[in-house]
Structure 1
Amino acid sequence: MAFSLQLHQIFLSHTRFCSQPKSITNPLISLKLPSIHPLAVAQNAAISNIDSAGVAAIDGSAEEVLLPPQLRRELMPKHVAVIMDGNRRWAKMRGLPVALGYEAGIRAVRNIIELCGNWGIRVLTLFAFSSDNWLRPKVEVDILMSLFERALNDELENFSRAGIQISIIGDSINYSGQHDVVQACQTIAQKVKDGIIETKDINSFLIEQELQTNCIDFPCPDLLIRTSGELRLSNFLLWQLAYAELFFSHSHWPDFGEAELMEALSSFQQRQRRYGRQSS
């Protein structure tokens, strides 16, 4: 499951879904968040105790949140994607049930949403369940699905009140970057067969229009963060990450907070993105 949050809306707006899922437990969800105070939720709040009073007011009088001195707002990535890895390892290291690791991961999600909105990141995409994760034990999959559904149902009203637009992307219960490209090719092939387009019309722009991220304002991430020390993409946004900067954190996802996000963003802002061109 992946969540993509679009954060640049300042005024309140209704939650928007790119595609209507059969279940709320969709693998990839995109959220558009306001750039000022998206959620004022305590980092350690219990997952079932999100109070509507914890959502900060979003209006024209809100003050811009100051960035940490290490970061520059004009160099902030527009779209950050995160592979949230290490929830199980975090729990096992503490002798806790796996379910508590995932609940701690949900608390980390709330904290990162707030930080990204305050710091001017306009789209945040969170990858939580891959099509490959079906190979995990059924009891763990059931826990994950139940947790995702409960967390989303708890947060939908808060997201709407805070001006966060949430986009559900992909299949109703999992996401695959390879399948994303395949379904785009199938759609284009059908349009050629129906005479809507010709083969000479097929290009990168057309393919991107058929990918499942086409409902996001900035569909291609500028920065990918993966936690828990893993150094792979794991079938996540394969086309869209073609020119993304990559940052790998050794922190398990429940421990990924302000300091870790600041480190990732600081690393991003020190890089020169050339897109194949020579350095200046």
Structure 2
Amino acid sequence: MDEPAAPTQILRDAMDPPRAAALQAALDLGGPPLRGHAVLPPFFHQVYFWDARPPGALGRDGHPRVGDFIPDLGLPRRMWAGGRLTFYGSLRLGIPAEKTTTLVKVEEKSGRSGPLAFVTLRHDIVQSGVLRVSEHQDLVYREDPHPAAPRPAPPEAPDDAEDRDALAFPTTLLFRYSALTFNGHRIHYDRDYAQRVEGYGGLVVHGPLLAQVMMLTAEARAPLRAFAFRAHAPLMDTEPAWLCRKGESYWIEGPGNRLCMSAEAIHA
């Protein structure tokens, strides 16, 4: 008997240049605004392919409610745990594109903080009939934090960086990134919810925003063929951070030598 096909979702976008130009400005990249037929910088596709849902179709956290495309696993907290991208060619602005998302895997485990569920999605982006980007997105779902439960110690960042540059993520940047990616996750803009409901120390800097900063730094060295990143610990909006590099390894370091995210780049 044949297994049922994996759930898929198809979204289309006109790839309008002003949206990419707005992210360019939000990230303070400088240079003239990106225009039609310009090459889209790596990972800028995050501001396209919105899955706009009405309020009644959202969960308590502001994300689209689970139980439809992503199954309801009874775990209310969601985080972007990491991703792997392969760049087969450049996306260009002003040329319509199509993104097909496939639910690849759902895996339930038990960790130090209680039950966990890992969900892997694959996004394939096609433009002009050609596959340009393939991305695997890893999500983790977990229980609400127990006030009395001890928090696991975060991993330590490496101490052998060749480059180490200071970063800042003010609330204005978090708001603009949420708006441009149509990400309603309340941990990024609703401080009361982030602290009282999900137990964070402040507003959480988006995982893909950290990955975007690292990816642009890697791309500036040489065009990217592939990029993989993994989240290790959250970074709050009030905390200083550093972008570090050794060879083609990148990481984001937070206060107290905390490793927030690590990544590996492969160049074309």
TM-score band, normalised by the shorter chain? under 0.3
TM-score relative to the length of structure 1: 0.23
TM-score relative to the length of structure 2: 0.24
